[in-house]
Structure 1
Amino acid sequence: MAGKLYALGRWAARRRRWVVAGWLLLLAVVGGLGITLHGNLSTQFSVPGIEAQRATDLLKKEFPEAAGADARVVFAAPPGATLLSGKEQAAIASSLHNAASVAGAISVSDPVTGQTMSADHTIGFADVQFAKAAGEVPKSATDALISAMGPARDAGLTVEYDGSAMDPTVSVSGPAEIIGIVVAFLVLALALGSLVAAGLPMVTAFVGVAIGVLGVEFVAGFVQMTETATTLALMIGLAVGIDYALFLVSRHREQLACQGDDELDVQDSIGHATATAGSAVAFAGLTVIIALAALSATGIPFLTVMGLAAAFTVLLAVLVSLTLVPAVLAFAGERLRPRAKQRRSRSARPDSAGAWGLAWARMITRRPVAALLVCLAALGTVALPVGHLRLGLPGSETQPVASTQHRGYDLLGQGLGPGYNATVTVAVDTARVPEAQRTALLDNLADTLRGDTGVAAVAPPVTNQAGTVSLLSVIPTTGPDDQATTDLVHRMRERDKQAVTQAGGVMYVTGTTATAIDVSAKLADALPLFIAIITILAIVLLTIAFRSLLVPLKAVLGFLLSTAASLGFAVWVFQDGNLTDAFGVAAAAPVVAFLPVLLVGVLFGLAMDYEVFLVSRMREHFEHTGDAREAVAHGVARSGRVVVAAALIMMVVFGGFIFTDDPVIKSIAFSLAFGVLFDAFVVRLTIVPAVMALLGHRAWWLPRWLDRVLPDVDIEGARLPAPTPTANTPATTPVRQLDHV
């Protein structure tokens, strides 16, 4: 593999104008398609096969007017008045009359006639039903609904909005993301010691990310895709795009720093950097791509699309690093060669850039057991909250405190009780029930539901025109995230279905709350299989890369430990409600249901980036010297600075997304940022050197029969052609002369 990448790097350097032009043309074409033909992105997470989704499918077919999106308008009377006061009641009636004329609205309830008011009549709500599904209701319709409430606001009432039709759109263009990019540039400048060199990874990464995200936007016109998918593609693509380019630029400048007989020609250095660091990039990128694509093994469409979208941007980041980066390096030419006072011979001791890494490695390898125990204890402590992990989907309480959804949620809980935010819908298909028995069946079911201690109220049934499908709205006594509400849904499915089934009908429990419960259970069931797939994948790939059995096992155990710590920290903050003000968390709530699966897939790939880049330098030194302990120190000294810089870049890129308003993006970014922190600094830079020192030469042991079977990918570039010496070539060789080298 190294030989082919060496040839690719030199080809890209020689044909740099064609390579850059090709990428810019691709950007223009994909960008044009993504901007002009982009599809609509959804905020809903649906999972085929779960009961709640089967009920939704039934409603779309048999009761379409009840399957569309809804908007809940919450009214709060001004101090000293009620919703039944003359002026206030007239203002509400006028507002609801206006709402009935909003395009797409098919029904509007009334808090007075529907008795959806608090006991003191100060807080109430009205539901506006739309014909179209959530995500298909145009913004013009929701804006018109807000305008329709003008009479109520003019009368002094507080008006807030909630419901699937009012879901906020995801915005990721805030100042925190911009600050993150600026900090990433500063980290690059410090790591590479050159503003020109620092700018190259930023530029090339933006090209890959722009193509990736705009391509995903275009595909969204043909495939149902959530807003989270494009944001995840942006986060992952930007982080790995900068990191992969950093690996190549750093190796290139390290080689250009050599002097005397070891001084390299620019194009030869580009070829060697692409072969060595590029091999690590290609291998690490492959693990990220496969891990993200493996999300399809969960059998959950929105996760599959999310994983494939992110995998596509990672693939582009790899291709950009192996072609566009060498071409741009060729354009930069001698400008990237360190100044004479910074240059050194390969045989010299590591310069100050690697001195701290060498000192750190020496300290760890002198006391590997102590370092290992301290790290295991620290990560184990952080991971403890995983023991009480609860999964769910983000509700209105997790929206920003200042948002209308959050305020509406609080008003309903305050006035009518927490269960009004957790309404459960019971759908009953009575097509096979004799028509004369349908009313009695529904009345008996409603009475049974009212008799449950976990039910606060049951609304009268609503039936479609054919009389074959009916809906009952059940109000629990507890909120949507309460375990008691989950238990109620399970009781309804296990106990109350029996009478309906015996009468010939089919009963489904659905609604937002039931959907969240079903999705969480589905994802919890998929997690063990996914972890098993990722674990086996890691062992196989790393065994091929490093021709060792113990190194892959160590890498996988470290990855699982850092993942557990990251998830434990997320539980401690988002579910347990600690440090909520610091991270802008609106309310303590169950962890987003698909976060563990997504975290395992993404963090696995990112962890393997650092593992491959760090251990490949250890392997490279061991192949040349046979000294296992010195190989550990050499690997950390040579790669430590780059791994630290790469980790910091990922952390600040992900960290910028922590302060977005969307609770899903916030939790994903938080978990990834701290997952990188734990994995890079604790696992890869501390636990890995300690374990490698304890294993010694045994770390590189591989049975002979397996050695014969495994393909030799030569990730260290041991069989590359000898570098072309340019000791007599002036350092000021014009860039244009490189075409003739």
Structure 2
Amino acid sequence: MSLALYRLGRFAFRHKWWFVATWLAALVALGALVGAVQPKFASSFELPGTDSDRAMTILREEFPAANEQQTEASTSILVAADDGLTNHTQQIDALVVDARQLPQVVDPQTVANPVTVAQARPELASTVLGDNGTVGLIQVRQDIPADELTAEDKEAFESLLADHRGSGLEVEGTGSLMQVMEVGGAAELLGFAVAFIVMIVAFGALIAAFIPILTAIVGVGISILLLTLSAAVIDIQSSATAIITMLGIAVSIDYALFIVSRYRSELNRGDGRELAVGRAVGTAGSAVVFAGLTVMIAVAALSVVGIPFVTQMGLAAAVAILIAVLGAITLIPALLGVFGRFAFTPRVPGIRHGDESDDQPSNGLRTARFITRYPWPTAIAGLVLLAVAAIPMSNLQLGLDTTTDSEYNATQLLKRGFGEGINGPLLVTVSDADGGDIAPAAGAVVDEIATLDNVANPAQIMWIGNGSGPVPAHDGATAALITVTPEQSPSGEATHDLMEQIRAIDASAPAGAEIHVGGQTAIMSDISATLSSSLIPFLVLVVGLAFIILMIVFRSILVPLVATVGFLFSVCATFGAAVFVFQEGHFGLIEHPAALNSFIPIFLVGVVFGLAMDYQVFLVTRMREEYVHGRSPKDSVIIGYQHGARVVTSAAVVMISVFIAFMLAPDTFARMMGFSLAAAIFFDAFIIRMIVVPAVITILGEWAWKLPSWLDRILPNVDVEGTAIRELTESDDKAKSVTTANGGSR
């Protein structure tokens, strides 16, 4: 492989303008296609094979009006006053008048002062007034799909609430208008800015620092445009763009950094630019290919979870990684050809330029010598530090909550006046597969639900059918819909238990009846359960496949084993840090502590395992390269560390910067994910890869690079060390020497 990449790098260098034009043409063409087709991302959540999916299927088929209502924008306005809402009637009336002017309000007369409603219809008082008349609820439904609301709609609604807040009256909102995703961009810009600074420090030159940034912009742009275009033919969630942006920026810059750094190292040996590019792509490029392959396997394996939008995210991320790899081995050598002798200009004074020689003092050399001199204490200290960081993991709690931070005050008022579950009803369907009369079964189910704990207003539970006549349409009904409001939080354990209890009623229902529970609360609960049950199979698949790849790369069993065990330490430490910050609320990084999002563990394992193996490949392949070419085990660790430490440090800082920048995002999930990924890269890159791994390899000595002969014959030899390149260039040098000695003829 190294020889093929060597030739590809030289070819791209010679035909630089053709390669650059091809990449830019692809970017422009995809942009034009997206503009012409204007595809839209899907907004529906599907969880095939689950109980909630079957319930929602019945809802769509038998209760189309109720199903459509589920997709329309619905927002709750909470008003509260400690001295009683009756003392603020005029203020609330003014609020109601303005709320009725929101776009496409369904039946504006239903948007009413809760005090007035309670006085006119006492039977509804408990649904609109709570906490002894100090909390009121105003429902606003709009004839607009919730996913079509814009950031401008949210801003206008928040202004409306602010205009009527004050004089002792609290006015808060929750629901569709408050859940509109705000336009991002700040995180990406900050990530690029920090990455550019890191590149300047790494290369000591402005143009060289700009090359990885340019590659990342082109690669991420193409990836997102491809994802957007695919939404025209398949259902793609818009949330998939977040992981593409986050991962695409980080790995594109990292891979470009490794290629350009090796190119500079080869230039310092005195080779010409074309030969240096070929050597860089053949050696560092081989590491990039296998590192990228490991990340692709890790994220693509998310498809085993069985959740469509998780599969989409994983496959989309795999495509982004593939494009980043292709950019590193084709666009980077072309750009190095374009900039030519100006690639490492203008130089920034005060920053070290170029790679150090093997014996020149540097921080990397000093650290390597210390680690190899004291390998046991170093390895133990690193692992103990991670173990301590992992301690809070014992309190790990997972959950899915769709409410945003901006809705927190409103949800607290809901809890105070009406119970936490009012915004998370369970939609229970009762159906007869034979098309018989569902009334007996529906009545029995209603009676049974009324006896369960955690049910709000059990006496008011009723069922509606799909029969003839006006609602409740019981006549001739073959399917029933029952709305059950929990008393506790939609994401709480008590509500999950209630859902399972309702599903268990099936055993006591009349023969032929089927009971399913759907709605957003049930869907989120099923998603959380699916994620939890899939984590171990996913981990086994990812680790198993990556272990095989690492054996091929390192021609070793122990080095991949050390890499994998080290990853488990860093992941546990990351979970501990995330619990400490987000669940327990330390350091004030989150205003409202909450359970970790259920998506975090599986995404963290998939993404971070791939990235951790990146650093393992980039750092340890140089050690193996030195060992294969005759260095002692200890010297190979020192030299490999010295040459790899600076570039791996720079790459890790870039990754951490990109991920930590996402903590600027408005939603808690993005902040949790950004922090968790940044913490994982810190623990894995700086403690496991740069301290524990070299220490353990030093302890293992010759055994680190041993491989049973039978396994050596089975595994393909990909020559990541570039032995074929060295032999080819050495033979070329000998041929040139013979030609020169013979006066130009052999």
The TM-score, its normalising length taken from structure 2, stands at 0.87
Counterpart residue number, 2:235: 224
- Picking from 318, 322, 334, the partner of 2:341 is 334
Cα distance, 1:256 vs structure 2: 1.4
Residue pair 2:151, 2:180 contacting (<8 A) in 1 also: no
2:34 equivalent in structure 1 = 34
Query: Residue 685 of structure 2: SS of its match in structure 1?
Result: helix
CA-CA distance at 1:310 after TM superposition: 1.1
Equivalent residue runs for 1:210-249 within 5 Å: 210-249=221-260
Partner amino acid, structure 2, of 1:475:
T
- 1:424 maps to amino acid: L
Q: Which whole-Å deviations, capped at 9, do the CAs of 1:647-673 have from their partners, x for residues lacking one?
A: 000000111111201222222211111
The whole-number CA distance in structure 1 between the counterparts of 2:155 and 2:466 is 31
Q: Judge conservation of contact 1:161–1:408 (CA < 8 Å) in 2.
A: yes
The match for 1:476 among 478, 486, 506 is 486
Say whether the 8 Å CA contact 2:543–2:564 is kept in structure 1.
yes
Distance 1:320 1:344 in 2: 23
Instruction: Say which SS state the counterpart of residue 40 (structure 1) adopts.
Output: coil
Q: Does 1:547 align with 2:555?
A: yes
1:192–1:82 CA distance, 2 compared to 1 (3 A) = same
1:193 aligns with 2:204: yes
Output the CA distance in 2 between the equivalents of 1:215 and 1:670. 28
SS, match of residue 722 in structure 1: helix
Q: Rate the CA distance shift 1:36–1:127 in 2: closer, same or farther, 3 A.
A: farther
1:460 aligns with 461
**What is the CA distance between 1:631 and its match in structure 2?**
0.8
- Report the equivalent of 1:360: 367
Q: 1:38 to 1:636 in 2, by over 3 A?
A: farther
The equivalent of 2:386 in structure 1 is: 379
Name the structure 2 match of 1:135: 147
The 1:486/1:708 distance shift into structure 2, 3 A limit, reads same
Per-residue deviation, 1:72:
2.8
Tell me whether 1:349 sits opposite 2:352 in the alignment. no
Report the counterpart of residue 718 of structure 1 in structure 2.
723
Residue 149 of structure 1 deviates from its aligned partner by: 8.8
User: Which residue of 1 is the match for residue 79 of structure 2?
Assistant: 76
Q: Say whether the 8 Å CA contact 2:663–2:670 is kept in structure 1.
A: yes
Given candidates 490, 495, 510, the residue that maps to 2:500 is 490
Which digits, 9 at most, give the CA deviation of each residue in 1:583-620, with x for residues without a partner?
xx242222222221111111111111101111100000
8 Å CA contact retained: 1:172, 1:657: no
**Structure 2 counterpart SS, 1:551:** helix
Is contact 1:423–1:511 with CA below 8 Å preserved after alignment? Answer: yes
* Structure 1 counterpart of 2:429: 427
For each residue in 1:267-298, what CA deviation from the matched residue of structure 2 results, as whole angstroms up to 9, or x when unmatched?
11011001011111111011111211111122
Q: Distance in 2 between the 1:29 and 1:264 partners?
A: 38
Spell out the pairing of 1:9-408 with structure 2 (5 A cutoff).
9-41=9-41, 45-67=45-67, 68-69=70-71, 70-77=73-80, 80-82=83-85, 87=90, 102=105, 112=117, 114=124, 115-116=126-127, 117-128=129-140, 134-135=146-147, 159-164=171-176, 166-174=178-186, 176-258=187-269, 263-336=270-343, 348-351=357-360, 355-396=362-403, 399-400=404-405, 403=406, 405-408=407-410
Check the 8 A contact 1:392/1:520 in 2, yes or no: yes
CA pair 89-446 structure 1, distance change in 2 beyond 3 A: farther
- Contact 1:170–1:661 (8 Å) recurs in 2: yes
> In the TM superposition, what is the alpha-carbon distance from 1:232 to its structure 2 partner?
0.7
1:559 Cα offset (Å): 1.6
CA contact (8 A) 1:253 1:336 kept: no
Q: In the alignment, which residue of structure 1 is the partner of 2:2? A: 2
- Residue 514 of structure 1: how far off its partner (Å): 2.0
Secondary structure of 2:8's partner?
helix
Mapped to 1, the partners of 2:24 and 2:604 lie a distance apart of 33
- AA aligned to 2:559 is V
Q: How far apart are the structure 2 equivalents of 1:171 and 1:487?
A: 37
Asked if 1:509 corresponds to 2:517, the answer is yes
More deviation in 357-366 or 158-167?
A: 158-167
Cα deviation, 1:496-520, whole Å, max 9, x if unaligned, reads 3333x32543222222222221111
**Which one-letter code corresponds to 1:299 in the other structure?**
G
Asked whether 1:413 is paired with 2:415, we answer: yes
Question: Contact (CA 8 Å) 1:83, 1:89: kept in 2 or not?
Answer: no
Distance 1:190 1:147, change over 3 A: closer
Q: Secondary structure in 2 aligned to 1:102?
A: coil
1:252-273 Cα offsets, whole Å, 9 max, x none, are 1112123xxxx11001101100
1:7 shift after superposition: 0.5
In 2, distance between residues paired with 1:90 and 1:158? 14
- Structure 1 residues 125 and 382, CA, compared in 2 at 3 Å: closer, same or farther? same
CA distance in 1, matches of 2:257, 2:677: 20
- How many residue pairs were aligned? 707
1:86-112 deviations in whole A, cap 9, x for unaligned? 546755775676679537999979954
Question: What corresponds to 1:732 in structure 2?
Answer: none
Counterpart of 1:659? 664
- How far apart in 2 are the matches of 1:102 and 1:700? 70
Amino acid of the structure 1 residue aligned with 2:397:
R
Deviation, structure 1 residue 493? 2.2
Cα deviation for residue 360 of structure 1 reads 0.8
Q: C-alpha displacement at 1:45, in angstroms?
A: 4.4
Paired residue for 2:470?
Answer: none
Q: 1:276 to 1:651 in 2, by over 3 A?
A: same
Structure 2 residue matching 1:719: 3-state secondary structure:
helix
Q: CA deviation at 1:701?
A: 0.6
Task: State the SS of the aligned residue for 1:463.
Answer: strand
Taking the aligned partners of 1:133 and 1:575, their CA distance within structure 2 comes to 33
CA distance in structure 2 between the partners assigned to 1:317 and 1:708 by the alignment: 32
Secondary structure, aligned partner of 1:502: coil
Q: 1:150 to 1:327 in 2, by over 3 A?
A: closer
Q: Note if 1:646 corresponds to 2:651.
A: yes
SS of residue paired to 1:456: coil
Structure 2 unaligned segments of length 5 or more: list them: 468-472, 737-746
- Whole-angstrom distance in 1 between the partners of 2:491 and 2:691: 39
CA contact (8 A) 1:31 1:215 kept: no
Q: Give 1:489 deviation, angstroms.
A: 2.2
Deviations 1:58-80 (A, max 9, x none): 11111122223251322304564
> Which sections of structure 1, spanning at least 5 residues, go unmatched?
729-741
Do the aligned partners of 2:41 and 2:238 also contact (CA within 8 Å) in 1? yes
Displacement of 1:571 after TM fit?
Answer: 2.5
Give distance in 1, aligned partners of 2:427 and 2:392.
33
Contact 1:187 1:649 (8 Å CA) reproduced: yes
For residue 600 of structure 1, what is the aligned residue in structure 2? Answer: 605
> What one-letter code is carried by the residue in structure 2 that aligns with 1:214?
L
Rate the CA distance shift 1:94–1:555 in 2: closer, same or farther, 3 A: same
Using the alignment, how far apart are the partners of 2:37 and 2:513 within structure 1? 45
Instruction: Identify which range, 80-89 or 668-677, moves more after superposition.
Output: 80-89
Alignment RMSD (CA, Å): 3.3
Identity of aligned residues (%): 38
- The 5 A counterparts of 1:563-582 are 563-579=571-587, 581-582=588-589
Q: Which deviates the most, 284-293 or 375-384?
A: 375-384
Question: Which residue pairs with 2:743 in the alignment?
Answer: none
The residue identity in structure 1 corresponding to 2:290 is: F
Matched residue SS, 1:41:
coil
User: C-alpha distance in 1, partners of 2:87/2:608?
Assistant: 55
